[in-house]
Chains A and B, each alone.
Chain A
Amino acid sequence: MNVTEDEQLVAGALAGNDAAFGMLVDRYQERLLRFLQTRSRCRADAEDALQDTLINAYRYLTSYNPRWRFSTWIYRIAIREAARNATVAATVPADDIAAADDPLATCIAAGERENLWLTAKRLLPPDMFTALWLHYAEDMPVSDIARSINRSMPWTKVALHRGRRRLRLAMAETETEQSKSEAYG
């Protein structure tokens, strides 16, 4: 990731160069969609959230502070959109959306084990999940994660530690069950 280049593209977009923002969209659309799928009930919701994120990013581009990474800023918008969509989705009866529509269940190639992010989604609160996601999927430093989720640095460090510990326990339980089932045939 090239921070300077992102900033140059933002400056170009503000100067009226539409192609510059198009390049930022190219750069971030899949990363954002991957994240938004983890926070949405179905692929369609994630796509709507991606569209809203990019529109809002473009509309409020003048408020971007180049002191921070562009990825931090745009993730902040995406997190807000995901939360907004979750609020709207909560008003839709769960029966209308089949459990099999969960993006994490449908997008992950069927394997022998469950995708760990699906486990994380079940076990962790949203902010803790997002902190882990930004750490592992985006390689963000803790300061940027804290800024993205609008939390303090100590909170973020503790959240990362606790999230990892819960997932490690869940992994250990799964492995124990698997070994038991293998032992008993």
Chain B
Amino acid sequence: MKPMDKLDRQLKDDAAAIDAQVTPALRLRIDASLRGVRPASGAAGHLTRRRWRLGPLGGLAGVAAAGLLLAVLLRQPETPPEVQLSPTPAFVLQSPPVVPLTVRQAGLTQPLRVELESLQADLEKVRETVERDLGVTL
């Protein structure tokens, strides 16, 4: 450690020589103004945060909260509750209209491949007839 020289000593002595006595009137004024103030609680302070992190009571509170949450979850029924659906509209309940269909059994006399070729040939003939009669290209 460096020994104090004259300047260092004088600066220390002169600082101590400044009269800084707080008068009783000033102290009363300070106390009165402090009574009207509360520490701001908006921002979480470092001390408060650390207390939550380190305090054994904080740990116990955390365990208790976790237990409570678990109990609530376990008490929930396994099957979901029945949901009341809106009534089915009347038009859905009505039976669909009956469409009269005429079904004829195909009279297959040849193997399926031959029948398919015959059908395709018939379709081609019909297409050519339509194009010729209407003057369009299909």
Using a CB–CB distance below 8 Å, which chain A residues touch chain B?
A: 7, 10-11, 13-14, 18, 21-22, 25, 29-31, 33-34, 37-38, 47, 50-51, 54-55, 58-67, 103-104, 107-109, 115-117, 120, 132-133, 136-137, 164, 167-168, 171
Interface residues of B in 43-83 (CB under 8 A from A): 43-48, 50
Check A171/B17 contact, CB under 8 A, given A47-B26, A63-B43: no
Contact A64 B46 (CB under 8 A): yes
Option from A103, A115, A117, A167 in Cβ contact (under 8 Å) with B7 = A167
B47, chain A: closest CB distance, angstroms? 5
20 contacts between A and B (CB under 8 A): A10-B47, A18-B34, A29-B27, A29-B30, A34-B18, A54-B30, A54-B33, A55-B33, A58-B37, A59-B38, A61-B40, A62-B41, A64-B46, A66-B50, A67-B46, A109-B19, A117-B14, A117-B18, A136-B11, A136-B12
Size class of the B contact interface (CB-based, 8 Å): 20 to 34
Taking the closest CB of chain A, its distance from the CB of B90, in whole angstroms, is 66
Partner of A62, one of B27, B30, B43: B43
0/1 string, B19-35, CB within 8 A of A gives 1: 11110001101110110
Interface contact B11-A62, CB-CB below 8 Å: no
By the criterion CB–CB under 8 Å, are A136 and B15 in contact?
yes
Contact of B87 with A by CB under 8 A = no
